[in-house]
Amino acid sequence: MRLTARFLLAFVVTMAIALGVTAWLNLGRERDLFDRDLRSDSLLVARLVAHTHDLAMQVGDAPGAAAAIASANQIHAGIAVEVVAQAQAPAALQGALAAGRPGAIRDDVAGRLDTYVPLKVASRPAAIHVAAGLDAERRYVHGTKRRAAIASLAALLAAAAVVSALGLALIARPTRALIAKTQRVAAGDFTAPLALRQKDELGDLAGAINEMTDDLARAQARATREAEARVAAVEQLRHADRLMTVGRLSAGIAHELGTPLNVIEGRAKMIREGEVAGDEIADSARIIGEQSRRITTIVRQLLDFARRGAPDRGDVDLVATATQAERLLAATAKKAQVALAAPAPRAPVVVRGDAGQLVQVVTNLVVNAIHATPPHGQVALAVDEVVAAPPRPGAGATRCARLTVTDTGAGIPPEVRDRIFEPFFTTKDVGQGTGLGLSVVHGIVEDHGGWVEVDSTPGAGSEFSVYLPMP
């Protein structure tokens, strides 16, 4: 609408100037024409009176000459005729009168046109003076101005109305449609193509926008498919990493299951062979039940960890998650002769996330720490609340839950520290690892809006800290 208003304003101003110049030129021509007619009429009257006066004076008829002048004053309204001495004429005309030529001069201040015709028969140099008033000319010019102003204003209003209607139809409405379309595109809506029937630049622009939105819609669909494929691939990698970890845990868990199975077998044998009686039978049955539940718990934890499922975000207690991972990996640490310390008991530290994925984060970090720690070393877990800022320029500090996994291993060499989160990068021997563990950790933590920091000293161990924003 603003473009239409500017266009209308420019048109009105231009047309007003054109109409004003035209009216001024027409008015000048009308004034010149009126002036020529008045001069011609005044000269004609003056010559007729001068000729009549000369004829009467030639025969000595002075009264007849005076009567001719009086008759001219009565016949021609708006003019005054008289005989004056040439010396009374304006100085600019005296030379022409002395040479026998007529002359006229316009006096706009006095409001008259003075015309002089020299007399041929007179006792002294004289002339007929015709004074014609300019009132009629002024009234005519004033009326012409008024008519020109009214006509110009009417033409200007009519043209403005026509241009406004054309501007609304050809500029304002298509422009509003284009703006509405671009706003929908900015909001991500690529449907409802823009239909402008006009065959001009705005119509071409609408066609170009429709082609652009079609391309964007196709690109959006392609990006959606690629994103879904990427999510599926990442989830497959994470699941593969879980299965690989399950394989590593199998030996340790099998050893862990050996103890309760031996207890169950021994108690069952004692009952079968009658070595126990009375209350001892009930006690053996209770012990068998306890060991069976212990086996069930271990197997269930292992199956839950290996099971593949869609991400399910909710409130997760990071302390309980770290404790669960510690119980799951206790047998692996024991087999590697590494002391695994669970997080110290404390109030829950709640974050928003997927419980299974966060267990995978803790498990991967602890497994890596166990593998990096020599026998009789130690791996410790800790959970606390801190205020920290992400390692991004301009990021502000926020309240976070921090999970720390510390080991007393060999540490990470400086030359490989920047590559430890790369997929498939590993420093282990062939067959000992795929290089997915830390990459999966990094991806899951970033998906949860957090970040991972590493502090490692070669020969003194490493510390991995996971920061997750708290709700």
pLDDT tens readout for residues 333-361: 888 899 999 898 889 999 999 888 888 88
Mean pLDDT over residues 235-263, rounded?
Answer: 60
Please state the domain extents for the chain.
2-157, 218-310, 315-471
Q: Does position 234 have pLDDT exceeding 90, yes or no?
A: no
What would the CATH number be for the domain defined by 315-471? Answer: 3.30.565.10
Q: How much is the pLDDT for 256?
A: 53
* 3 state DSSP class of 275: coil
How far is 426 from 438, CA to CA, in rounded Å? 9
Q: Which CATH architecture has domain 2-157?
A: 2-Layer Sandwich (3.30)
Q: What is the mean pLDDT of the chain?
A: 80
Torsion angle of the four alpha carbons 340, 346, 347, 353, in this order, in degrees rounded to the nearest 10: -20
How far is 438 from 76, CA to CA, in rounded Å? 120
The more confidently predicted of residues 195 and 354 is 354
Six token digits for residue 6: 């500017």
Alpha carbon separation from 302 to 248, 296, 359, 389, 423 (Å, rounded)? 11, 10, 12, 35, 25
pLDDT tens readout for residues 305-317: 555 455 668 899 9
Q: Does position 285 have pLDDT exceeding 60, yes or no?
A: yes
Q: Does position 93 have pLDDT exceeding 50, yes or no?
A: yes
Q: Class of 218-310 per CATH?
A: mainly alpha
Q: How much is the pLDDT for 263?
A: 62
Mean pLDDT over residues 144-162, rounded?
Answer: 84
Six token digits for residue 46: 């003056």
| pLDDT grade for 324, boundaries at 50, 70 and 90 | confident
Per-position b or e across 356-374, b if 16+ CB within 10 A of its CB: bbbbbbbbbbbbbbbbbbe
Mean pLDDT over residues 210-219, rounded?
Answer: 81
Q: Does position 98 have pLDDT exceeding 50, yes or no?
A: yes
Where is mean pLDDT largest: 183-192, 205-214, 453-462?
453-462
How far is 382 from 341, CA to CA, in rounded Å? 9
Q: How much is the pLDDT for 224?
A: 82
pLDDT tens readout for residues 51-74: 888 888 888 888 888 888 888 888
| pLDDT grade for 427, boundaries at 50, 70 and 90 | low
Q: How much is the pLDDT for 432?
A: 46
| pTM, two decimal places | 0.44
Q: Does position 267 have pLDDT exceeding 50, yes or no?
A: yes
How far is 250 from 262, CA to CA, in rounded Å? 18
Q: Does position 301 have pLDDT exceeding 60, yes or no?
A: no
Give the chain's count of helices (H) and strands (E). Answer: 11, 11
* φ, ψ of residue 434 in degrees (nearest 5): -105, -10
β-strand 313-317 against 350-354: which pairing, if any? antiparallel
The more confidently predicted of residues 284 and 107 is 107
Mean pLDDT over residues 4-28, rounded?
Answer: 81
| pLDDT grade for 387, boundaries at 50, 70 and 90 | very high
Q: Does position 434 have pLDDT exceeding 50, yes or no?
A: no
- Could you give the percent of the chain with pLDDT greater than 90? 13
* 3 state DSSP class of 424: coil
Mean pLDDT over residues 259-271, rounded?
Answer: 70
Mean pLDDT over residues 246-260, rounded?
Answer: 57
Mean pLDDT over residues 435-450, rounded?
Answer: 80
Q: How much is the pLDDT for 60?
A: 82
Q: How much is the pLDDT for 305?
A: 52
β-strand 339-341 against 313-317: which pairing, if any? unpaired
462: DSSP letter: E
* 3 state DSSP class of 253: helix
